Amino acid sequence: MFCLRRVFNPRTISYLNPALRAQTVSRWSAFRSYSSPAKDFVRSVFSDVAKNYDLMNDLMSIGIHRIWKEILVQEVISSLKLSHRHLSKDYFSDDFVPDHLIVDILDLAGGTGDVGIRICQLSKDLKFQDSNGFTLHDALKITPKVVVCDPSEEMMKLGREKADRVGVKDLTWEVAEAEKLPFKDRSFDIITLAFGLRNFSDRKAGLGECFRVLKPGGRLLVLEFSHCENELFSALYKTYSENVIPLLGSLVAKNEEAYDYLVDSIKKFPNQQELAEMFKSAGFIHVSYRNLTGGIVCIHSGFKKL
């Protein structure tokens, strides 16, 4: 049985460190007065659009959101494969060498589960590799334990159905607010957060919770809309987002206000450098970011100090 195997699942430390978004006009108007939306507003928005959420993502981005999420997941997989470099010999003695490493992953604001499901699909039979891609320690396998967390029960229901359709069974689903996570300190090795940070009612508190539930050495990866760095590209994207996206929301999701919110939330969101500073203020180290599609979106990374 699994419980008889030599399993390494550290609860207090992670070794993955490489160096160490309206139901009413009044509610919509209320949102526009603040840099961060109210919890009830965001929950109602996503409950309203849940049924068409995935379809709208495909239409709005012409399918490119799948590529962005794939790049995020590949970053997770790379961290898993290379984690052997950071295994401390203090925890691997001569009389205890595990043959199975469990890695705890939180897909925060996971919605319909795109990222969590994909992590499970790509992490089958993972083994440690060196920097050149050579597999190390044939007996030592990696098993990610993924928790998808989101405040919208409707979104999570669709996510569970999606996971069942594609045959992914080993996911845990948790309905919760990012600003008050129901997890113990030092619970996760990696936290992914795809297109959710904009919708936090309190981003400082949300990042603080991410820091709290990460194990020392753990990594936070945030995929979020950002600010185009090319002026021409930025002007084209602004025209598209302000005109086409709300129209699609009206025609497909029957909720133009929800997608007006999306566009406005992107405008109000901190730029790359500002978000990097927010990471640092929350306590993260080795903070970096990577622009995708000219800066329309960006992957931000930060680690919790060992």
Q: How far apart are CA 157 and CA 111, in angstroms?
A: 9
CATH code of the domain in which 53 resides: 3.40.50.150
State pTM to two decimals.
Answer: 0.82
pLDDT bracket for residue 229 (50, 70, 90): confident
- The two tokens of residue 120 are 């499970």
Q: CA–CA separation, 79 vs 182, rounded Å?
A: 25
- Contact yes or no for 305/279 (Cβ under 8 A): no
The whole-number average pLDDT for the span 185-207 is 96
pLDDT tens-digit series, residues 16-41 = 554 443 333 334 444 444 455 667 76
Q: What is the chain's mean pLDDT, rounded?
A: 82
Annotated binding residues: 112, 150
- From residue 114, alpha-carbon distances to 13, 96, 161, 276 in Å are 27, 36, 12, 25
Residue 130 has pLDDT above 70, yes or no: no
Cα-based torsion angle of the residue sequence 183, 110, 160, 3 in order, rounded to the nearest 10 degrees: -40
Distances 306 to 2, 37, 87, 177, 188 between C-alpha atoms, Å: 29, 33, 12, 27, 13
Question: What is the per-residue pLDDT across 148-181, written as a single tens digit (0 to 9) for each?
Answer: 999 999 999 999 999 999 999 889 999 999 999 9
Q: Which two tokens stand for residue 105?
A: 């992953």
Euclidean distance between CA atoms 261 and 244, whole angstroms: 14
Tokens for 66, please give them: 């799948």
Report the alpha-carbon distance of residue 301 to residue 214 in Å, rounded: 13
Into how many domains does the chain fold? 1
pLDDT of residue 156: 94
Binding residues for S-adenosyl-L-methionine: 112, 150
Q: d(Cα 71, Cα 212) in Å, to the nearest integer?
A: 26
Q: How many CB atoms lie within 10 A of CB 7?
A: 13
Domain residue limits at 234: 2-303
Q: Which of 32-41, 151-160, 227-236, 243-252 has the highest mean pLDDT?
A: 151-160
Residue 88 has pLDDT above 70, yes or no: no
**Strand-pair partners of 149:** 108, 174
- CA atoms 23, 25, 30, 36: torsion sign: positive
pLDDT of 4 above 80: no
Half-sphere exposure of 29 (CA within 13 A, CB side): 3
Rounded CA separation 137/45 (Å): 48
Q: Would you call 219 helix, strand, or coil by DSSP?
A: strand
The CA distance from 29 to 80, in Å, is 44
Q: pLDDT digit string (tens) for 262-282?
A: 889 999 999 999 999 999 999
Looking at the chain, the whole-number percentage of residues with pLDDT higher than 90 is: 52
Least confident of 1-5, 54-58, 155-159, 296-300: 1-5
Residues in the chain: 306
- Secondary structure element (H or E) that encloses residue 304, with its range: none
